Structure 1
């Protein structure tokens, strides 16, 4: 096969969920120094899509080598580094462009990446400059709003308020982030009703009838609950060799406090960082949920082989970004779908579920523009549907796994942080360290909507936030009550 044919086979394998074949071919293309020219850019994205971070970085270097001084190409390759958690290298690659091409894309990239590692003031400097030279950069306004506390006498507040006139008649989804930014500004100045109107406008630009299909989601959860029952778990073997430093799995709805808990735990001297890592999703991609639901129909030896491969793939992916000498904190959203599998593949791993007042949780989801697009979050009734079905599954796991899953609440984490963290660490077999309450001083990587919030000390202002807009959340509360009483 020619180099281009091999490259095309990678795309085919990725589409068909044949990630092992795709990874092997990408590695072969790199080893033979294939002549792919700009196609290295596409291979880089494919490598990222299957969690092959080291190969993605190496592919991006091939892509950059074609025109190493081209600013757009430099930023594209730096974005790959950032996505692979190599933030410092990404910043170092782009920073020299400030001398020769001090443009919005350069400024926005540096503002975003510096905010992710806690360099808040420097991030603000870059982002303030962006919105001065490119005031219609909706995503830059959103990134700035996440880390900037607006006030009524604030020059930026005056600027963002005036900017709504320029966005008012443009219905493009590209502009949706601006309305979320303006909503955040209104929240900061205590105009919650106006904030709700702005968030609603942003959600309206993003929502469509195919954003989220409640019936499809409900059926998906039903299939897991029906197949992965007590009998199913009893038939499945557990891996014999426990991990020396297994992951810590955090389960929870978006905006329920998972990032806060992860940052707190990662501040412990014996725990590494973490985040939404997707390793398990990549490791199970070739199997598929339907086959996972029917593992109990297989022989025990066959399942052990499956579990060993999943475990091996997870650890290999993990080793690309973290040391294996410390536990990491994995808070990937889809983990709730795989707790049965986790209990068998990682028999010594701690599992913690965090819950939050549903109305507070819903309001927080509605007012956040998720960087990876979560379709259900743009409609209050859909938020209720999503919460209900995910909680049904979480309760199912709790009934099957019992004490294996420690359940805590966001409210306890805020009101009683020391006692709650002691429970978490005891569940993990670790001693409490007072330093973890200073988690906000760490410059650990945060790439979620909580990027600004977790850089501040704990405060109780995040509890009962829904009360000021309670009347606007009727669609959520009514739908959730109907679902739970059915």
Structure 2
């Protein structure tokens, strides 16, 4: 037992350092030996997820959550599956709990999953059940408010709980405030809504973040990436021999990247679509800002060639883990793709980089008013939002300068008002024919795990244009 624990600790340390091969070897050995690690298997599953090793995640999870009376462990197992985008598997895991054992945490999680699947009536019932026994659950009220279906009776109940919520922990109180703001917005009381958004973001700023947004650090990273990928890089550095045409959708949060992704993946030949978060994993243990020689202020040629080979191998492996045969016509909309564009343009010479643009006042306001589960530290402060958007635009302008026809600009406002024209032009660039069913994207039963989960269940509309109060 002690030996197995030591191997598990060493494996977790490998994962934190991004050392895939030794990690996989250690975990595979523990799985084959059916090591008696008990709940520690969850930590190994989480470390496997950190590296994108989905097959290992599933193997580790086989050792936990099998006691149907242990609701907490089953929910933890389902939570990790959902985190990996395996929402159907998470729902099956939750369903294994007998009805008499289901507590408020179970109903909350089941309600969130139902909302991600577009099952809004079911989600409402499940969240209602949570609030009956846990009326001071901030996350549940926020999930409920996000459904856009809260009746006045429920709203009054929430208003009456303000003093009690103020005595709960900061994170819980913060989500309560966001819920109040959301509901005042729903009932068209903009002044009250804005007051609660300001209170909510103030509390959010006071909660320490594991990855705080520091303006100077972000500016330095952008400057380094631009310096790395200058004229010499684009003119002289070789490309790989890959003939795949991956589709990278790039844009700030709340600019319409989820919408465009759903439109594209409704095409019969295009797949993927979620935030795959594969680039950092495929490049690991190297980070994008480290591909740099401080003396020459450039990327060493030999290192570039080695990294391309390493990245292609790992990227293909990680896609296979997701059940994707190749990167060809695979859509990825991961938030940090903007940092990898130059490198990706050499790794995948035929890649298509689709930059989504939206009226900035609308996009910034939408970022400010949304509570992001992943904790985007800049989104709780208007000055930091301005800074984040400015650095994003600076880097985007650099990529457009060098990418030529590999870079495509899609305007959100044009997309929702003239979708046929915009999609036909985009399909031409991708060398596929436009399909009418692309416009039926909202009928999909696939889970949507971004803040746009409700909007993308409706046909294209202009409801979100001109709503910014930034």
Q: Which runs of 5+ in 2 are unaligned?
A: none
Whole-angstrom CA distance in 2 between matches of 1:14 and 1:279 = 15
8 Å contact kept, 2:52–2:281: yes
Equivalent in the alignment of 2:279: 280
How far the C-alpha of 1:219 sits from its partner, in A, is 0.7
**For the structure 1 residues 98 and 186, does the alpha-carbon distance in structure 2 shift closer, same or farther, using more than 3 Å as the test?**
farther
Whole-angstrom CA distance in 2 between matches of 1:453 and 1:104 = 27
Query: Which of residues 323, 330, 345 in structure 1 aligns to 2:332?
Result: 330
Equivalent in the alignment of 2:229: 228
Equivalent in the alignment of 1:18: 19
Map 1:344-359 to 2 at 5 A: 344-359=346-361
SS state at 1:141 partner: helix
Equivalent in the alignment of 2:39: 38
How far the C-alpha of 1:364 sits from its partner, in A, is 0.2
More displaced 10-residue stretch of structure 1: 227-236 or 319-328: 319-328
Map 1:361-400 to 2 at 5 A: 361-400=363-402
How far the C-alpha of 1:221 sits from its partner, in A, is 0.6
Whole-angstrom CA distance in 1 between matches of 2:98 and 2:37 = 30
8 Å contact kept, 2:292–2:299: no
Map 1:55-94 to 2 at 5 A: 55-65=56-66, 67=67, 69-94=69-94
Equivalent in the alignment of 2:129: 129
SS state at 2:408 partner: strand
8 Å contact kept, 2:71–2:102: no
TM-score by length of 1: 0.90
Equivalent in the alignment of 1:53: 54
1:192 aligns with 2:190: yes
Deviations 1:224-246 (A, max 9, x none): 11121121222322111312xx4
Equivalent in the alignment of 1:166: 164
Runs of 4+ residues deviating >4 angstroms: 294-297
**For the structure 1 residues 293 and 118, does the alpha-carbon distance in structure 2 shift closer, same or farther, using more than 3 Å as the test?**
farther
Equivalent in the alignment of 1:145: 145
How far the C-alpha of 1:47 sits from its partner, in A, is 1.1
8 Å contact kept, 1:149–1:185: no
TM-score by length of 2: 0.93
How far the C-alpha of 1:454 sits from its partner, in A, is 1.0
Whole-angstrom CA distance in 1 between matches of 2:262 and 2:157 = 33
8 Å contact kept, 1:26–1:55: yes
8 Å contact kept, 1:277–1:330: yes
8 Å contact kept, 1:150–1:189: no
Equivalent in the alignment of 1:447: 449
Whole-angstrom CA distance in 2 between matches of 1:362 and 1:78 = 33
Equivalent in the alignment of 1:401: 403
More displaced 10-residue stretch of structure 1: 154-163 or 250-259: 154-163
Deviations 1:65-117 (A, max 9, x none): 5x454211111111122223222222122124251223111111111112112
Q: Which runs of 5+ in 1 are unaligned?
A: 474-486
8 Å contact kept, 1:61–1:77: no
Equivalent in the alignment of 1:291: 290
8 Å contact kept, 1:57–1:80: no
Whole-angstrom CA distance in 2 between matches of 1:164 and 1:250 = 41
8 Å contact kept, 1:250–1:353: yes
Equivalent in the alignment of 1:483: none
8 Å contact kept, 2:213–2:377: yes
How far the C-alpha of 1:171 sits from its partner, in A, is 6.0
Whole-angstrom CA distance in 1 between matches of 2:167 and 2:395 = 42
Whole-angstrom CA distance in 2 between matches of 1:160 and 1:54 = 43
**For the structure 1 residues 441 and 159, does the alpha-carbon distance in structure 2 shift closer, same or farther, using more than 3 Å as the test?**
farther
How many matched pairs? 462
Indicate the RMSD between aligned Cα atoms, in angstroms: 2.0
